[in-house]
Homo-oligomer: A and B are copies of this chain.
Amino acid sequence: MSRGKLTYNRRMSLFSEISEQPERIKRLLASQRKNVERIAAEIQKRNIQYVFLAARGTSDNAGRYANYLLGAMNGLPLALATPSLFTYYKKPPTLKNALVIGISQSGKSPDIVSVLEDGKRQNCLTLAITNQTGSPLARTSDFVLDIQAGPERAVAATKTYTTELMSIAMLSAALSGKKSQWDDLSETPRWVKSALKQDGLIAESAQRYRYIDQTVVLGRGYNYSTAFEWALKLKELTYIIAEPYSSADFAHGPIAMVESGYPVFAVAPKGRVLGSMLGMLKRLRSDIAAELVVISNDKRALALAQVPLMIPADVPEWLSPLVSIIPAQLFAYHLTRAKGFDTERPRSIRKVTETK
């Protein structure tokens, strides 16, 4: 990649961390498969009826992926925890036959730890997905899935997001026991690497949005997570207000605020919800004359965009969130530079946020 020389410059850790992702998820797949299969075997021994998942920020977006993936592939309903019930209200719900999962890069946020502690107190099986195996979250849990992202120095999380997604995808494959899922997983580092090659094009395209101060980000199904994570990177790094929606929720009211020229970002790869996304994109382009940036591997979706961002053609829908987030991260990075902001130290936020 053209910026390779800068990769290990301390002031450029965000770009370096984005670039590391193919290697990190490849290593994770190789080193954690046995551990994940052991965890899956234990889950299958129990009478698990649903997943209760606690996370914040970027990790919560990984939780959104788990919601679709564990539902569609493994038949597991998933409830996203409301940590304040555990911390402020001291009224944790009764968790019977639940698998309690906490996702946190640092493993330190007291509210997430509190949900896992309560899961344990109620005799639920508990699992920590974290980058810090010595963290309070890891110490509280029956099982630890080490995302092995290495130290993340940039405040905006990138490689910990894709390794969290990979961990969840591996758990799904281990639970289903389908060889085809493991085969797809082994291709993923290659797809991610290929998506990184668009960097030069994205750097140029981002210039066009130098003066936007707001946008909406649309995604659906598996890529509902990608819409949330793209929006979060934009908010953290470029300070624009970027609101994520499923195309269905968007149609139930918020579409009213879009007018001619309004920038709409969308994640619409091939798959079951593509028809629904195409319908919305056509409506935005033809009826409202909105401005579209679209991440896709479908020609029709890309053709509707002023700025089309391509991902490889053969990515299966269930793994597309690991690949479609790459152009989104690069776009947020380059827009930050175009706007003249600091990519490494965004104002008002720190690397580890501890909330109750």
Q: Which candidate, A32-40, A198-206, A253-261, is the interface stretch facing chain B?
A: A253-261
A349 touches B56 (CB 8 A): no
Provide the residues of chain B in CB contact with A91, threshold 8 Å.
71-73, 75
Q: How far is the CA of A219 from the CA of B249 in the complex (A)?
A: 20
B79 touches A93 (CB 8 A): no
B56 touches A77 (CB 8 A): no
With A77-B93, A91-B71, A95-B77 known to touch, is A348 a contact of B256 (CB < 8 Å)?
Answer: yes
Provide the residues of chain B in CB contact with A78, threshold 8 Å.
79, 93
Chain B nearest CB from A16 CB (Å) reads 20
Q: For the complex, is A211 an interface residue (Cβ under 8 Å from B)?
A: no
Partner of A93, one of B75, B85, B236, B254: B75
Q: For the complex, is A214 an interface residue (Cβ under 8 Å from B)?
A: yes
With A77-B98, A84-B273, A98-B77 known to touch, is A353 a contact of B221 (CB < 8 Å)?
Answer: no
With A77-B52, A77-B93 known to touch, is A85 a contact of B57 (CB < 8 Å)?
Answer: no
Q: How far is the CA of A284 from the CA of B259 in the complex (A)?
A: 31
Provide the residues of chain B in CB contact with A276, threshold 8 Å.
84, 88, 356
A68 touches B82 (CB 8 A): yes
Q: For the complex, is A329 an interface residue (Cβ under 8 Å from B)?
A: no
Chain B nearest CB from A217 CB (Å) reads 11
Chain B nearest CB from A306 CB (Å) reads 20
Provide the residues of chain B in CB contact with A133, threshold 8 Å.
none
Chain B nearest CB from A59 CB (Å) reads 9
Provide the residues of chain B in CB contact with A97, threshold 8 Å.
49, 97
Cβ < 8 Å to B, chain A residues 211-270: 213-214, 216, 220-221, 224, 232, 235-237, 239-241, 243, 246, 248-249, 251-259
Q: How far is the CA of A273 from the CA of B111 in the complex (A)?
A: 13
Partner of A75, one of B70, B82, B94: B94
Provide the residues of chain B in CB contact with A96, threshold 8 Å.
49
Closest Cβ neighbor of A235 among chain B residues: B254
A93 touches B80 (CB 8 A): no
Q: How far is the CA of A256 from the CA of B85 in the complex (A)?
A: 26
Provide the residues of chain B in CB contact with A316, threshold 8 Å.
none
B77 touches A80 (CB 8 A): no
Chain B nearest CB from A103 CB (Å) reads 13
Provide the residues of chain B in CB contact with A272, threshold 8 Å.
84, 88-89
B214 touches A84 (CB 8 A): no
Chain B nearest CB from A326 CB (Å) reads 19
Provide the residues of chain B in CB contact with A216, threshold 8 Å.
241
Provide the residues of chain B in CB contact with A246, threshold 8 Å.
84
B50 touches A249 (CB 8 A): no
Cβ < 8 Å to B, chain A residues 48-107: 49-50, 52, 56-58, 60, 67-68, 70-73, 75-80, 82-85, 88-89, 91-98
B77 touches A252 (CB 8 A): no
B68 touches A93 (CB 8 A): no
B257 touches A235 (CB 8 A): yes
Beyond the given pairs A49-B97, A77-B93, 8 more chain A to chain B contacts, judged by CB atoms under 8 angstroms and listed by A's residue number, are: A50-B79, A52-B77, A75-B93, A77-B94, A85-B221, A232-B254, A236-B254, A258-B348
